Structures are given as C-alpha cells and as structure tokens.
Amino acid sequence: MTITGIELSAYVEQLKRNGYTYVGKFGHAWMKFTGQLDARGKGYACEFLVPRALDGIPLVKVKSLPQDLPKLLPHLTARGYLCYLAAGSVVFDLFDPIGQTLACLQRAGDVLAQVLAGEGREDLVDEFFQYWGDVNCLLDIQGNVAGSHPAYFVKETDDFAFVVTDDKKRTERKLNALGNTLEPKPITTIRVKTTVRPFPLEKDWPPKNVGSLLQWQSQLDPGCRRRIEDKVVHNYRIGAGHVTVIIDSPALQYGFIVFFKRPARRLGQPRNYRQEVYGQTIAQLSFVRIDDQYMAERSLPGVAKTLAALDVVVVGCGTIGSFLAEMLVKAGAGTSGGRLTLVDCDCLGPQNLGRHRLGMPHLFKNKASQLACELERLSPGTNIEAKAVDVKTLDLQSVGVLIDATGTQSLTDWLMWKYSKTVPVLATWVEGPGLAVRALMKYSKEHACSRCISQPPQNEAYQVFHEPTPTVLKGHGCEGLFVPFSATAPIQAACLAMDMLQEWLQGRLEHTLQTRVLDRSRSLKTSDCKPARQEGCRACHS
C-alpha cells in the first residue's frame, strides 16, 4: 500500500471498470494501461503510463489519429504524446489517485478534441522549441546590439556544442567553472533582429537546408529573410567554413548553423553562389542564455532596473554582509560594466563560522578577500573588488550606492556623516539578541539618518518595541564579548536590505525605515515609515 491508502490491485480494478486495460509494468516505476480517449464523443486509442506510487498525473500517448492531419499540431508531439496539463498547474491529490487519474484522462480527451478541431494553433508559437533545435548552444552576449559575434566550439562536453560570446575572457571564466575550455579558432556568427515571433510550418517541418529556411522566413518577415540570406551568402563567397545565425525575435532567440560544403567545379565555370547556399544543410540551434543580464533579470520579471552597471560598495563582510553580498551578485551587481566592492579589514575566526556565509576553508583569512574569491567562483565574470582596509581610509564619494552591513552604530553614523549628502546609503542590522532586523536608507537630504533616529528624543519614538531592546552579551576572555543570535537573523537582515534596495531601484521605496520582528512574543511599536531628518543632527544636517 502506498501513501494513497489504495492497493494497486484496487486501482487497476477501478480503471478496468472505466474501460482501461492494465498491460503490465513499464520500467521500474510505471504501470502501463490502454484504452480509449473520449474526444467530444469520439474515441481514440491511447496508452498511458501511471507512476506505481500513484502520486502523479498519467503520461498519455495517442495511438490512432486521422490520416489527413497536418504534420505539426499544438500539444501533440510527433510520437503522439499529448500535453494536456502545464507542469505545476495542478496539485495532484495523493489521497484520491483513482479520481485524479480519471479527471486527467478526461482533460486529455478535451485537449485532444480541441487539437483535432483546429483550435489552439496559436499555441504553436509558445511551443516553438518543442519543434526546433538539434544542437544546444550557449549565448553569453551582453545587450541587444545586432551584428557579428564570434562563436567557439567547446571542448570536453556533450551538453552543448559551442558558445557565442562578445567577451571571450569572461565566457572562458564561466566555462572553466564547468570544467570546459574553448577551441582557439572562432566561428563567424551573424545576429539579426525580427519583430515577428516564430511560428512553425504545419507541413515540411522543420527546414532541412538554407533554402527551405529562407522560404519559411519569407512568410514570417521578408526583411529578416533578406538580411539572413545576404549575410550567409557573403560568408560563403569569402570562403568561410561555417557560419552561425542568431535570430532575435520577441520573447525568444533561435537560430541555426551551416557547415558549408562547396561543390567541385571545372576551371572557369561560372558560379551561382546563392543557389549553392540554398542547398546547404543546416542544424537548428537551441540557445541557452548564460549572460549576466539574463541571470540577473530572470527572477525579477518586469523590473525596470537592476544592479547591473551600478557601482555598489558593501562595508562589513561579516555575518550580514557575507549573505547580502551573495544576494547582490545574484541581482546583477558587478556586471554590465558595474562593480561590487567589499570592504572589511577583519579576518574570519572560528567564532564566526556558526553564522557566516564562509566556512572552514576561509578560516584566519581576510573576510573581504575570501568572500570575493567565493563569489567569483560562484559567478565567474562578475567584477568584484576586495578592500582589506579600514573603510575610513577610502574615498567613496563617487559610488552608486553604499551599504553598511557592520551593525556597528558608531560606524554607521560616521558613514552617514561622511557620505549621505552625496551618496545613497543603506544600513542594515540585527536588533539586540536577534529580536528583530532593521534597515534604514537615506538617499535624500529630507530623510533621517541613523543618528537622527537613535538620539534623544527620537530614539524612543522610533524604537522597535514598546520596551527598550535588552542588551545581551556572551563570551569571555580571549574570545571577546558578542551578541548571541542564530544564523537566520543576519540572513533576514540581508533579505530586508535587498528588498529595500530593489524598491529603491524601481523608484518605489515608500518607507526608508523598515523592521521585521523575529521574536513573536514582542509587539512592534514602530511600523515601517519614512522618518524626517532632525534639525541640528550633527551627522547629516548641513
């Protein structure tokens, strides 16, 4: 008996009553059934696979279809497998496997009826890559400038044949992280743009040579077809051995590669280069983007601005700063001409390991330098600079944003005094022994700085709880005193700072002082707000 509480024999018997025949085991994890799919009253022979654990939707294959159907149909593969539910769109009820299976088969019949009625042809656009792509190719191109970019074959891998890049050194660092290297000789690459999304033909698909591909492009975008043809023919005329074509269309990129084979000809015989090119065999390319812009924006759809191209400085690479720096890199810091600078003159000690992003291999070494190395390992090509010095010795007047993750009130006040008039400053810290986390951003002279909200009389007005935050210290002797809190507190402080930074980038940071309570036994006194600068503040009043 499985988690469902249903015996396999009872499951098989119930499906039999509904007209489905059990064929037997299929592999180690599946059971195979046959029967009829009801497509608006008409039956079509099918077979389907069900997990032996009865914990997932059936995989349905249609065995009998009308002979006069187009070669390409939406939601139906060339082998007859039917896509009737989007992955993750439903929750399979583990405790009703029989009812869920029958509901899935009914849904499959409904989708098959729609397909056979000619409905949903527009879905072929969204399913384009189901019908396109013989070879995987990596794209590491920053920006959207059309034109030529070199491609390189990749050594020592079966996962992707080659990569197209606008910066070989950057791409080599990324591939080295995968254990791969590039062949030294580049391949010519053409990049063209179109305003039309690709729509596969329902007959004679996919195109096998340059001529059939150009005919297809003529139906989509004649202008794009002309650009492709002219550039491919040009490369053939000048003796190129092969050429890669990238087509930038709305929402996706696709393309092909041609390995030119030149026919033998008699001396003096006139040549028709275009006709020779039309017959050249193509291989369709499925592109996998690994450029920094894509990786930064993929998880933030619709954002107007990311950290890419911005000069970001993090002061303090301790428990908060180490986690925050990793988040910044994932959000694009240090890419597209930007830079991420990490500042910390301290070394990582054994006492730090319980709540720090770094671990044993980095022990007794400078936090900023080791964190930079770790982030470069995780994100090769990112521009990260470590400063193992006292931040007070640096000039940071021209940076894009300054983040204080030290959690040290006096240093936060100093940074606000020194830079907040010219540089946006964001500070984040853990309140007391992990009772709450807070973040404060000052990017306008009207905003309060850290000293504005921490000195009388405003300190009581903006304190976290109704009662003062207790001071709790642990440790003794050579280890020194420290404030105890678990690793989850600094991670949440880093998350809060990251959220506020994203809001600021989008121009919608409503509250410059924000708090997240971690100790649920306490009640919050100061909700998220925008404190005003205090007249006469010695840190930020000019």
From CA 503, how far away is CA 99, in angstroms rounded? 45
Structural element, H or E, at residue 30: strand 30-39
CB 154, CB 161: distance < 8 Å: yes
Which tokens sit at 208?
Answer: 């096998």
Residue with tokens 């810091």: 333
SS (H, E, C) 166-200: CCHHHHHHHHHHCCCEECCCCEEEEEEECCCCCCC
Please tell me which residue in 46, 224, 449, 537 is annotated as part of the active site. 449
Please tell me which residue in 83, 104, 224, 540 is annotated as part of the active site. 83
Phi and psi based region of residue 198 (left: phi greater than 0; alpha: psi -120 to 50; beta: remaining): beta
* Strand duo 339-343 + 311-315: pairing: parallel
CB 74, CB 127: distance < 8 Å: yes
Radius of gyration of the chain (CA): 31
449 is catalytic: yes
Q: How far is CA 130 from CA 74, 134, 148, in A?
A: 10, 11, 27
Beta bridge partners of 62: 46
Please name which of 394, 303, 375 lies closest in space to residue 334, comparing C-alpha atoms.
375
CB 138, CB 290: distance < 8 Å: yes
Query: Within a 10 A sphere around the Cβ of 32, how many other Cβ atoms?
Result: 17
CB 373, CB 358: distance < 8 Å: no
Q: Which amino acid is at 272?
A: N
Residue 457 exposed, middle or buried by CB count within 10 Å (0-12, 13-18, 19+): exposed
Q: Which amino acid is at 463?
A: Q
Cis bond before residue 186 (omega within 30° of 0): no
Which tokens sit at 288?
Answer: 């996998």
Please name which of 161, 170, 333, 167 lies closest in space to residue 255, comparing C-alpha atoms.
161
Strand order, beta sheet including 242-249: 147-148, 188-193, 242-249, 252-259, 282-289, 135-140, 162-165, 151-155, 181-182
From CA 138, how far away is CA 170, in angstroms rounded? 13
Query: Within a 10 A sphere around the Cβ of 203, how many other Cβ atoms?
Result: 7
Beta bridge partners of 46: 35, 62
Please tell me which residue in 46, 104, 224, 452 is annotated as part of the active site. 452
Residue with tokens 């036994």: 521
Question: Hey, which residues are catalytic here?
Answer: 83, 449, 452
